[in-house]
Amino acid sequence: MEAMSVTFARTVDDACAALAEHPGALLLAGGTDLMVGVNRGQVRFADVVVLDRVDELRGWRREGDEIVLGAGLTYAEMGRGELPALVPALAQASRTVGSPQIRNAGTLGGNVATSSPAGDTLPVLAALDATIDLRSAQGARRLAIGEFVTGVKQNALEPGELIEAVRVPVLDGPQEFLKVGTRNAMVISVVSLALVVDRSGRNVRVGLGSVSPVPLRPADAEAHIAGCIDWDTGSAPDAAAVHRFAALVAGAARPIDDHRGTAAYRSHAVGVLARRALLRAFPGGAS
């Protein structure tokens, strides 16, 4: 067996240098995805760069109207302090992830890098039009979430590159995250949906999870509902508008049948979630 190297990076530069030195090295954050792969024999360790001691990747900060979320931000951290008030949908999503142990270890960067259709932060990031800050020994670049995730567990990360942070806007308006799973905790999403309202931008943005290879934005549904809301009063859209919104969301979904659910159920359920999220965001609306 070949020897493997393990680098405990202390700074982002350390980590980038180690990646440059060991092409093909695996980044290890919370390990909650990676170690599952190792245990299943799907991932073979060569060289490992460990990220959880890199202080720069931890926590979050506010830069003007933007929140910069460190790649090492854990689910537990997303759900406490001031962050839930600033990015409610992310906090709601984080609370549905795994168990307390998983939420203490699992990170945002790991969820984004895994790029699974069932990754629970991805619909939120899609709805928020998040951008991803990438770094390598060669320099930095920034991609929109839609550019970053390219397929089922595929993304634009180049060899030698890591995710440094995720940027999301602070929006004026309610946010919702809803998820359907096979039980109420410790489950992989059968479908998930994030809905954010941007009052100043006068739009409603929706991210769908587990219904397509990449997190989906139902553009027609968004355009439709933005036009049905009286943005000056903020009053709820009428029942017909809500129904059409739900139908457009369901129609945008491109799910598959798998052992967790059928495509038909997923399309239906995501429509129901869309309607319920909208009604929560605009209470008083007719169902």
Partner 1 sequence: MSEQLGQPGITSTSILGNPVLRREDDTLVRGQGRFVGNVPLEGALHVQFVRSTAAHGTIGSIEVDDALAMPGVVAVYTAADLGLDDRPVLMGFYPAEMARPFLARDRVRFVGEPIAVVVAETQYQAADAAETVWADIEPLPPVLGLSDALDGENLLFPDVGHNVAFRNSVEDPFDFSGYEVVVTENIVNSRVAAVSIEPRVVAAGIEDGRLTCWASSQGAHNFRKAVTDLLGIEGEDLRVFVQDIGGGFGAKGVTSEEEVMVVHLARKLGRTVRWTETRTENLTGHVHGRAQEQKVTIAGTSDGDIQAYRLDMLQDCGAYPRFGAFLPEFTRQMASGVYDIERVEVEYTSVVTTTTPVCAYRGAGRPEATAAIERAVDLYAAEIGMDPAEVRRRNLPASSAFPFTNATGTVYDSGEYEMVLDAALEASDYTGLRAEQQRRRDAGDNRQMGIGICVYVEITGFGGSEYGEVSLQADGTVLAVTGSTPIGTGHLTTWAMIVADRLGVPLEAVTVFHGDTDRVPSGQLTGGSRSVQIAGSSMGDAADKLVDLARDAAADLLEAAPDDLVLDRGRGAFHVAGTPSASRSWAEIASEAAEPLVGLSDFVQAGATFPFGAHIAVVEVDTETGQTTVERIVAVDDAGVIVNPLLAAGQVHGGLAQGIAQALLEEVRFDEDGNPQTSNLADYPAISMMEVPSYERSFTETPTPLNPLGAKGIGEAGSIGSTAAVQSAVVDALAPFGIRHLDMPLTPERIWSALQASGA
Ligand X SMILES: Cc1cc2nc3c(=O)[nH]c(=O)nc-3n(C[C@H](O)[C@H](O)[C@H](O)COP(=O)(O)OP(=O)(O)OC[C@H]3O[C@@H](n4cnc5c(N)ncnc54)[C@H](O)[C@@H]3O)c2cc1C
- Helix, coil or strand: residue 255: coil
- Asked if 261 interacts with partner 1 (CB under 8 A), we say yes
Which residue lies nearer to partner 1 by CB, 4 or 264? 264
- Asked if 110 interacts with ligand X (CB under 6 A), we say yes
Q: Output phi, psi for 55, to 5 deg.
A: -60, -35
Note whether 29 and 51 are within 8 A (CB). Answer: yes
| Edge-to-edge strands, sheet with 191-198 | 175-180, 191-198, 203-209
Residue 268 binding partner per list ligand X, partner 1, none, with a CB distance cut-off of 5 to 8 Å that depends on partner kind: partner 1
Q: How far apart, in whole angstroms, are the C-alpha atoms of residue 20 and residue 27?
A: 12
Note whether 132 and 111 are within 8 A (CB). Answer: no
Binding-residue total with partner 1 (CB under 8 A): 19
Residue 114 binding partner per list ligand X, partner 1, none, with a CB distance cut-off of 5 to 8 Å that depends on partner kind: ligand X
Build a one-symbol-per-residue string for 113-152: x at contacts with ligand X by CB under 6 A, - elsewhere: xx----xx--------------------------------
Binding segment toward partner 1, per CB under 8 A, in 55-63, 74-82, 132-140, 254-262: 254-262
Binding segment toward ligand X, per CB under 6 A, in 84-92, 106-114, 244-252, 260-268: 106-114
- Asked if 24 interacts with partner 1 (CB under 8 A), we say no
Build a one-symbol-per-residue string for 156-185: x at contacts with partner 1 by CB under 8 A, - elsewhere: ------------------------x-xxxx
Binding-residue total with ligand X (CB under 6 A): 29
Which residue lies nearer to ligand X by CB, 124 or 204? 124
> Token pair for residue 255?
């799910």
DSSP character string of 4-28: --EEE-SSHHHHHHHHHHSTTPEEE
Q: With both helix axes pointing from N to C terminus, report the angle between 239-252 and 263-281 in degrees, rounded to the nearest 10.
A: 140
- Helix, coil or strand: residue 235: strand
Q: Which of 2, 3, 41, 139 binds partner 1 (CB under 8 A)?
A: 41
DSSP character string of 51-112: -TT-GGGSSEEEETTEEEEETT-BHHHHTSTTHHHHSHHHHHHHHHSS-HHHHHH-BHHHHH
> Token pair for residue 66?
């933007």
Q: Which of 5, 138, 154, 262 binds partner 1 (CB under 8 A)?
A: 262
Residue 272 binding partner per list ligand X, partner 1, none, with a CB distance cut-off of 5 to 8 Å that depends on partner kind: partner 1
> Footprint of ligand X on residues 45-64 (CB under 6 A)?
51
Shortest Å distance, C-beta 183 to ligand X: 11
Q: How far is CA 243 from the centre of its chain?
A: 26
| Beta-bridge partner residues of 178 | 193
Shortest Å distance, C-beta 219 to ligand X: 24
Provide the binding-site residues for ligand X, judged by CB under 6 A.
26-34, 36, 51, 71, 97-98, 102, 105-107, 109-111, 113-114, 119-120, 157, 162-163, 186
